[in-house]
Amino acid sequence: MTNRRINRKALWESSTSLRCLRPENPPAEYELHVSTNGIEVSSNGVIVRVGSDVVLGLFPSSSAVLASRSVTIVGSNFDISGSYSVRFGGTDQRAEVVSSTSISCMSPIRADATTVAAVLIRDGQEIDSVSSFTFAFTPRPEFSRIVPNNGFCKQDTPVQLNAVLSLPLNEVRCKFGDHVSNSVGSQGGAVVCVAPPSDPAVLEVWISVSGSEFFSTGRSFECLKPMRVDAISPAVVQRQATTSVTLSGSDFLCLKQIFCQFGSLPVTTAVCVSSTALQCSSAQLQAGNYSVAVTYNQVDFARGSTPLFVTEGVEVLAVLPNKSSIF
């Protein structure tokens, strides 16, 4: 039993009941004394025992290599005044006691993908209850491409990141330049993030997996000034094998591949005449009205306000009479 004296303020509940907080100290037995108005009352030999540290789990239990992340150890009886660390394999990381049930630390940075034992250390001594916990350092994913690799500025653009390794989709964050975006799902096994609005620029794409620090994917996303379609000429055409029109507008980048779309039909490749003129053609137009749009990436579209009207052509079946007398 310890001779250390610790004072705790008691809460009066009734004439037969008091409540107070237990000492947050190393495991030991304490003799309980009660005093009122500075006068000590005999405890009649009541002994209380402060329990040892109990660890229930370590979360999260993995991190990408060459990255550090915050790790929380949950349990009970943690001493706020104690000195703790967490040993990942052979590397000790200083830990901070958040409460009697929570301890936090940063995982170490490792270059190799491996799994190590995670052990809680208190005052230089290992706590046996965590010897069965492990922490995994996982390989960084490699990215073969991102689709699309450009989009209009000032609007959100879904971007698909094709990774060589599968990723935990609910724990992925993307960063386009300085703009952070959470993953919004998957498509064909790839991560989909939204490129947020930005000024025109080429943005390096970074990624964070399972809460790790951001690292570069080696890919970039180009934010482009949106094209604008002001007019279409001619606005009324007769249906024929191939329909060709000229779009007038602004901010057409002839160095980029540009596509046209009539209504909801598949896109066709545009001919960029200048930054203010495009030529668009389609071989599938039937009689009707069609909105006309242009795009770089087949995801972000700029639509004109004037539709294209396609009318039925006039077909000559016969000329009657087919002869005439000459006087």
Written as one string, the DSSP assignment of 6-42 is -----EEEETTEEE-PPP-SSSEEEE--EEETTEEE-
Task: Give the pLDDT of residue 261.
Answer: 95
CA–CA separation, 86 vs 117, rounded Å? 10
Both tokens of 1, joined, read: 């039993």
Q: Do 205 and 56 touch, CB atoms closer than 8 A?
A: no
Both tokens of 154, joined, read: 């000032």
Q: What is the DSSP letter of 139?
A: P
Task: Give the pLDDT of residue 68.
Answer: 82
Other C-beta atoms closer than 10 Å to the C-beta of 15 total: 5
CA–CA separation, 18 vs 41, rounded Å? 13
Which amino acid, one-letter code, is at 280? C
Residue 277 CB contacts under 8 Å (≥ 6 apart), including other chains: 246, 247, 248, 249, 252
Q: Do 203 and 232 touch, CB atoms closer than 8 A?
A: no
Q: Do 161 and 172 touch, CB atoms closer than 8 A?
A: no
Q: Do 230 and 246 touch, CB atoms closer than 8 A?
A: no
Task: Give the pLDDT of residue 293.
Answer: 96
Report, as ranges of residue numbers, the positions in the chain whose pLDDT lies below 50: 130-131
CA–CA separation, 1 vs 18, rounded Å? 23
Both tokens of 265, joined, read: 């039909």
Other C-beta atoms closer than 10 Å to the C-beta of 216 total: 13
CA–CA separation, 69 vs 105, rounded Å? 8
SS3 content of the chain, % helix, strand, coil (to 5): 0, 55, 45
What strands lie across the sheet with 236-238, from one edge to the other?
236-238, 308-311, 288-290
Task: Give the pLDDT of residue 263.
Answer: 93
Task: Give the pLDDT of residue 274.
Answer: 96
